[in-house]
Structure 1
Amino acid sequence: MSDSCGDKCETLEWLRERIHNKKHFTARFIGQIADASGMDAELIVKIFGGVLFVILAFSDHAHFFANSLLVLVPALLIFVFPAEKPTDDSLFIYFSLFGALTVMDRSLERIPCYYIFKLALFVLLYVPPYELHKRISELIQEQLKKQKSNENVSEMSRSQRTTPKTNQSTRTAIPPPPPPPPVQEQPKPVEQAPAPAPAPAPEPVPVPVPVEQPPPPPPVEQAPPPPPPAPVAEAPQAQPEPPAPADPEPKLPSSRSRSDLAGGSQRLKSGPNPMQSNSFYNLRSESDGFNSRAISPAGNLNDMLFRPTEKLVFNAPFDYDNLTYHMKITNNSHHRIAYAVKGNAVPRVMANPAFGILNVGEMRIVAVSVQKFAWNDIDYQKDRIAFDYVLLPDDNKEKTFQMSMFQQSDSKRRKNIKIEYNP
């Protein structure tokens, strides 16, 4: 498709795909009618669209026909044709918007041709290049990230407020218990000492008096020193506990960042990254290779799903050895897929694993890492990575990735992922 065709051609190609490509249930249904009536498929669609326009614009039952159609199509995709079902995020946005508008139907149907606009709105959710559900989902994700960051900040402030209080409470709790036990235990022997003294008083009068009277003064002198100095000396030693949270930070391995998932590095391939040594993985310019947006929808039908879909955002600081973002790729086609990750900022921005083969329905986590760099010395505004992938024929049983798979295939496709930095 030529670049001058623009967004209109993408929309038209998307509509033709749903009419002629038997991969979609709409094309199969229209094909059955065309075979039975002998009419052209596009003529059938025009007739159906004209009848639907008249019903929605002039019929008293436009409310029933519009809402029935908006419920029937997603129900067929979910329960009858699950292979063609959109993602769960897009369905959540679809039904949320549908419920909100349906509640206000009776008040909004005073607008001329309201149900035609309503039907067109839900079609635009999935028609390229608009794909409104992606923009809505990105806004929702940004709001969730802001809420999580605010919650983390509030938790940190709470912990900082509570730690000094606990230290003060322990200081006041330690000194009072030691003084009572020695004071209460010492008078007991003093009371018991006079009891035996009267019995042996006639003969060993001089013996008990010097022996039993001196013991009371030493315990009285020993009692005061242990309680006060012991807690006072221990209290300042307990104060250095607050800096303990500073210790886990240097314990983080320098090759990982705070954004790493637990055990994330164990899921990745070991050994040197081939992106550092092989020029095959380098994007040399903006026009290098090909772009999936320039491929007609007939050749780019979400065979491979990416999460996130458009860009990766790395937060400062950028002085860690590695800042890592784990993204998910999924084979959504009916064929095995061979892929390779390329970048225009290697070795500063690399992916691991940089290549591989995905079986039908397989999901894989790819770690995209940014090496530490000086913010003012790097031109980072055009950083990106690209997933080049091809559909493997059914007779290809190779289990290991080979570069010849790209050279021998006519179904080369690309998904560009932009790299953004948040200082």
Structure 2
Amino acid sequence: MNKTSRRKFIKNSTAVVTVAGLTAIFPKLYAAVGADRKIRIAAIGINGMGWSDLNALLKHPDVICTALCDVDNNVLQKRIKELEGRGIKAKGYTDYRDVLKSKDVDVVVIGTPDHWHCLQMIEACQAGKDVYVEKPLGNSIAECRAMVAAVEQNKSIVQVGQWQRSQQHFRDAVAFVHSGKLGKIRLVKAWAYQGWMKSIPVKPDAAVPAGVNYDMWLGPAKKQPFNPNRFHFDFRWYWDYAGGLMTDWGVHMLDYALLGMKASKPISIMASGGKFAYPQDAAQTPDTLTTVYEFEGFNIQWEHATGIDGGPYGKDHGVAFIGNNGTLVLNRNGWEIIPEKGRMEGVAFQRAVDDGLDLHAVNFIEAVKSRDSSVLNCPVKAGAEIAIFSQMGNIAYRTGKKIYWNPDTWSFSDAEADQLISAPYHNGYRLPKV
């Protein structure tokens, strides 16, 4: 999601949804809720999507916010004041471990950088909390496996923030793919062309900003001097903390490629790309990338590019299921069918009509109230599957090899690729053994 889209979510999150309106849309939920006490939520990491997620949850009448947490006290105090202006009093924390100890918190929202998701989600589950965790679920294949095991062991309700799974038009499009009307599907393309993302200029290291607990921000990441390029939003473009567009947008678009094809584990993965647009800038992850996943009888192809919006089919993001009879093109705005001449009827653009983030939040609360994880639209296993799939693309790119995955041994055919299955932990932190 780009900066503009995130700002729209934050702006829209202050809208009030009435109890009557929610009851009409989600009668099953309100039949189960009754007059139970409110669900007390804390948000950890509140500068971006963590804040948007919290506000989507706060639209639900059975939810209250009791705590906020951020390592940047400037952000923390700003958000506390924003909630106070809406009549909500939340206690502020700068250490997430204090939040997990609180008896006034039932649910934790994790909106921290990717390299923190695993530790915080597992510790939250072990503390008896339910969790709404931002995507990608984990920052490595090993982390994702540990996170799934922790949820199963602690019986926590965990929703991963892939909110498109809660939108009706995405479901309608996948149902059409499953109908067989497209004929044999030989190729699925998924892409994100991000014209808004320009070059990350090289900046010198600097003093840690006042009010920021930088050691806590780094957590398990490699110790190094503070640099503004690696902080807040732009952490995404550094391997120490995230996986670039492959895991930022890839988990969204490739998720629907897998759902449409009822697929999960590829036979092989190869990738080619680099810093073609901005070779001298400060980012580490590729600004241009093509990744090909081989399956039995079809391929899935990922493309991303920064600085330009001219993606396939004239769309800056999307998924295309290319069949013998026609092609279904899907993105956040809607879907359509482009027919092969004389083989099927086209379908005019079916526009999105709902708010995926709000629906995803309500779906999560339904599961929390009913203690039924089976109703979740993106449970931890689904989040792990697509995060691992996207990380495989990065591993292929970083090794420069065509790699083969063995689902029985959870390993690749290549020793160099196997070294990237786990993200290194530093500063005394360890990947939890679950």
Would the TM-score normalized by the shorter structure come out above 0.5? no
TM-score normalised by the chain length of structure 2 = 0.21
Structure number with higher strand proportion: 2
TM-score normalised by the chain length of structure 1 = 0.21
More RCO (CA 8 Å, sep 6+)? 2
